Amino acid sequence: EAAQEEGLERTPGGGESLANSRLLDFRMADKESPGTYQKATQAQQDFTWIVKANDRAYHEQFQKRYAYCLKKKKYAGNAIKTAKYNVLTFLPLNLYEQFHRVANLYFLHIILLQTIPEISTLPWFALLFPISILLSIRGIRDLIDDIARHRSDGEINSRPCEILIGGRFCKKQWRDIHVGDIVCLRKDSFVPADLLLLSSSEPSSLCYVETMDIDGETNLKYRQALLVTHQDLASVENMASFDGKVTCEEPNSRLHNFIGTLEWRGETYPLDSEQILLRGCRIRNTESCYGLVIYAGFDSKIMKNCGKIKLKKTKLNHLMDRIVLLMCLVLILTSFGLAVGSGLWATKFRQEHSYLSVFYTDTSATKHAFYAFWGFIILLSFVLPMAMLITFEFIYLVNSCFINWDLEMYYAPKDTPAKARSTSLNDQLGQIQYVFSDKTGTLTQNVMTFKKCCIDGKIYGSSRSSNSIPVEALLSWNKYWDMKLEFYDPLLMSTIRRDDDSVLREFLRLLALCHTVMVEEKESQLIYQAASPDEEALVTAARNMGYVFLSRTQDTITISELGKERTYKVLALLDFNSVRKRMSVLVRDPEGRIKLYTKGADTVILERLHSDRSSEAYTVKALNSFAEETLRTLCLATKEVEEKEYAQWSKKHHAASVLLQNRAEELDKVYEAIEQDLQLLGATAIEDKLQDGVPETIHLLKRGGMKVWVLTGDKQETAVNIGFASQLLSDDMTILGEMEICEILKSSSNSDNSLAGSGEALFGCDSPQHFQASFTHGKMALVISGDFLDKILHDVGEEQGKRKQSAWDRLLCCQAKAKGDHQNSVEEAFVELATACQAVICCRVTPKQKALVVQMVKRHKNAIALAIGDGANDVNMIKTADIGVGISGQEGMQAVQCSDYALAQFRYLQRLLFVHGRWSYLRICKFLRYFFYKTFAGMMAQIWFAFFTGFTAQPLLEGWFLALYNVFYTSYPVLCMGMFEQDVSAKKSLKFPELYKAGQKDLLFNFQTFCLSFIQGSFVSLASFYIALWACEDNTGARIIGDYQSFAMIIATSAILTVTVEIILDVKFWTVFSVLAVFLSLILYCLFSYLTQSFPAYKTAPTVFQFPDASKNALVDPLALLVILLSVTVSTLPSLTVRFLRSITVPRTMSELAQARDLKMEPSAVELTSHIQRDSHWRRSSYAFSHKEGYGDLISRGASLRRKGPRVHSELNGVHHMLLPGKEDSMPTEDIASSHEAVAQQKFLPC
């Protein structure tokens, strides 16, 4: 029942049920447990959500506790809020969030220490100025992002709606809706909350909805109100007096389930999901409908599936946090060691110079060491470069702008550029390991096209562009032809016009008659509404070829055959289901003959043919040809039924249709009896259009080391067909279904191999040989359903997860521990199996399941995941993944609004990852490596200087040099490298996607790289310090460089020039900005040194400007210049040596290797081909497999058909309605339907 409620398709012979039962066999050995009983009891207690119609006061009185003693309303309003800040909370909350960063908290601590005079060793501005800039930049960025969220919330909350207030419908906004309100919805409007359908303008109060934003499906679904509300709520007055009470389950995330009751007038009526309109659905083909608000705002099911906004941090950011913690620890230990040295030195000094004891009467050696410790903490704080964090933010921002400005990712037809909505995740785009993609609207265009057909063994189908004569001229005879025609074959059209081919005539009649499509006329155009886009494509194809479906009643179908209207009497409609894999219609033509028209999967049609099978061989060849082109195929057949045969069959059909038990099974047997001895007419081929470049993009993603998973709410066979079309699946892959997965998991759980090990452990000696061989060659794919996946994930629901453990829970904890470990091991084994496959397709999954799959892979594989989708059903997945990409497609903008990056087409993902992502990762890694190196090179000299100053924490370098070193003197070259660096061009990045694997393996920056930067920087600081010390140590008689300030300036200049030479060697892609940045840094060093060391500045503030004319005194001496040159040479020599050795010993780059590989191989274009045998279970008639029950039952009952009749009008309070006084209870169904149509036309007055 759960599978049927979810809309899941079942495999032939109950394979899905068998697979699920096998899974349950080894997952849940003990179903009947105290925990199970407790959950059942709890489920009964969850039905506490009571909604009273037209009674806001009742709902306002209830409150619930949500945090300690704080309470809020139990029934949420309909306004949603995704923004984090408001005017009052922005500053405190933003600062609170920013100081959650370890580095910011550390620098705040240092600034507070600087306010203590006894331990302050640096001027106040040295750290306050950089951290103020950093907090301001991040705060402005967060403010801009939050303003965008406010605008989005405002647009949604301000959508118009009509609410029943004071006896009339008033125009309000979504934010004004409350639980218990009655809302009027118009055609093509969105459903603002979860509603109980009360009535509609359609017959029997049907309501057609499009659920594209929820499950990605474009076909219409119908909902139907209860008969009692349909009959009795046909006027505004009756709706205003409606006082029914709905009792149902608490708000939850189960989209396809709803259980409740309606109590009204002393009677109780059952409610299920068939009466519920979910928020986010769109009303289609229904003029108006009325609903009672059950769940509003964040209590609605779609919002329960959206998840929370999570702060995303990149892998490099997590590494940086660990490095910052490590550096803080090392800094504290170093300061402690130097402080101990300071205490020992002070003790020794006092012993050797006792005559100076008068100066130390108030200070002990311990106190001196204590002050020295904090002094060194402040002095060495520059080893943690705050400027790096500022530059970090700027580089992220610029790289995001490059994404926004990339014309190669601009989609001109919709005027949609790429958009980087997050500015702090760019480098993670270069480390993606798993890509989780939606199908409908992301990989496909949501467009079904009639591509080819085979009629009586002949294949027809060509592109309309291949014809020299305009199609408009050739089809002028058909006034109903569709302007979007893409199928046209001149030979076929000429044969149709001659009307001398009986098989062709029957073929087209079948397309026009055998379906459950609904039709309406709008602006002189026929509008088809189908339960499946495939059916609409077939009926439209027949329309374009002169056989036009015009209208239908409960027992007739009217079509136009080459301009002549013919009405067929419908004797029986044998609707489709997933077991029969076919549908049929039994009609009597105007000449009185009885015809059976059948269409379905080739596997079921071919085995029911007449003994005369002259065209079968040619049709099978055509089906194979269509399958190679990954088209969705369907077989068509017919037969003429004798009157006597029909009379006997009709009696059996009537007897089966009135059975109270096993009705469906008996009807199938009756259907089976007449669907025999068919004459094969031909086959159709429909293309589920992929977006441009999807196969090429998936091919590149796989070459780049990424594994692509498709998570879709669509049907299994449809998704598999798209998998073949997009080259996600190939003909040499072994596709594992649910039964095979169960066998593998069962054998792995029984083996001694560790389930947490490699994927090879899953394929032990008990596994089939072809599974082992497929795994060895890496050619496997998984195809599973959401129902099967739910048993793997074993999700107990978010409500119980949030609920605190009771005493009974704690008592059962020990009993359930072993069982939980076993379930976790099965989940872990499944992840090992899935990640060992080249592709995974999950079908019929809910939005929450999509997020759980992403979370499961992230948890067990510690992998970087990217999720891409285009609808509201993808929002939770996008938020859960490390990188969320929204496609601005046909399913609205919900996915884009919650995404980190927005693209117009799936194909742009290859440029986003292989170009911008890889470049961003390269730039950030080189930036980090160089920034740490230059910081250690310039600042570590403070430590060496301490050994010659008695460990007194005296600064070696000028305070202004320390403040400006990482801000102006050395920042611009590394900034340009972080913005413009490239190792290869964009063209080569796409040509050699193997280069992308460096980011997946963390090769460019890791803890080892950081240690090498530390070693190199420390060597440079040692060389600069000791070479300068060697040159100046015994030069006290020299006027120029014998003083402390000149000594400091020589070391500072050596460090500046050394790190500048290093970045010149590091940069591979030079631009004008890179050259200017090098010169600008040196110019700024000279300029600021002159300004901060001038005598006027010294006279103005002697304590701030303490190095008057230091550079002028030091750098004019030839000896000082030679010392600087020697320091730069010695410091750079190791780097040059390593680069030289690497160039001659390390193998060629990956691009060179890939280029050599491609020279040996003939390049092959990516084509939409899939050479699959027709006997493959996964490739047979994907249309028939993916189709579902249509509107056959509604058509047979006449419930969906509008009846024409007079409308009764009267006016009350300026509102048009139809009920005559005293006639409310006696109005027949037909008049009720007409009355609802009239209500739909009433003019509502604003309140």
Taken in order 463, 466, 472, 473, is the CA torsion positive or negative?
Answer: negative
Q: Which helix (H) or strand (E) holds 179?
A: none
Encoded tokens for 940: 């570590």
Place of tokens 């040692």: 1022
Catalytic residue (choose from 438, 575, 882, 900):
438
State whether residue 206 is helix, strand or coil. Answer: strand
DSSP annotation string for 529-541: E-SSHHHHHHHHH
State whether residue 901 is helix, strand or coil. Answer: strand
φ, ψ (nearest 5 deg) of residue 1053: -65, -40
Integer CA distances (angstroms), 699 to 222, 349, 509, 780, in order: 39, 73, 42, 16
357, 350 Cβ separation under 8 angstroms: yes
Q: Which helix (H) or strand (E) holds 309?
A: none
Q: Is 872 exposed, middle or buried (0-12, 13-18, 19+ CB in 10 A)?
A: buried
Nearest Cα neighbor of 738 from 794, 792, 819, 795 is 792
Place of tokens 């803890």: 1007
Do β-strands 780-785 and 734-736 pair in parallel, antiparallel, or remain unpaired?
parallel
854, 880 Cβ separation under 8 angstroms: yes
Q: Which helix (H) or strand (E) holds 647?
A: helix 643-657
State whether residue 501 is helix, strand or coil. Answer: coil
Beta bridge partners of 710: 437, 841
519, 527 Cβ separation under 8 angstroms: yes
Residues 6+ away with beta carbon under 8 Å from 482: 540, 543, 544
Q: Is 824 exposed, middle or buried (0-12, 13-18, 19+ CB in 10 A)?
A: middle
582, 599 Cβ separation under 8 angstroms: yes
φ, ψ (nearest 5 deg) of residue 32: -85, 95
Treating both helix axes as pointing N-terminal to C-terminal, what angle do 786-793 and 15-27 enclose, rounded to 10 degrees?
0
Question: Rounded to an integer, what distance in angstroms lies between the CA atom of residue 174 and that of residue 79?
Answer: 7
Q: Is 187 exposed, middle or buried (0-12, 13-18, 19+ CB in 10 A)?
A: middle
φ, ψ (nearest 5 deg) of residue 633: -105, 160
46, 249 Cβ separation under 8 angstroms: yes
Strand ranges for 535-631 from DSSP E: 547-552, 556-561, 564-574, 582-588, 594-600
**Contacts made by residues 34-38, CB under 8 angstroms, sequence distance 24+:** 34/808, 34/812, 34/815, 35/812, 35/815, 35/816, 38/808, 38/809, 38/812
Sheet containing 839-843: which strands, arranged edge to edge?
419-420, 901-903, 883-887, 865-869, 434-437, 707-711, 839-843, 780-785, 734-736
Nearest Cα neighbor of 550 from 560, 540, 541, 535 is 560
Nearest Cα neighbor of 883 from 907, 902, 870, 856 is 902
Question: Rounded to an integer, what distance in angstroms lies between the CA atom of residue 630 and that of residue 462?
Answer: 16
Nearest Cα neighbor of 17 from 4, 30, 31 is 4
- Indicate if 213 belongs to the active site: no
Q: Which residues are catalytic?
A: 438
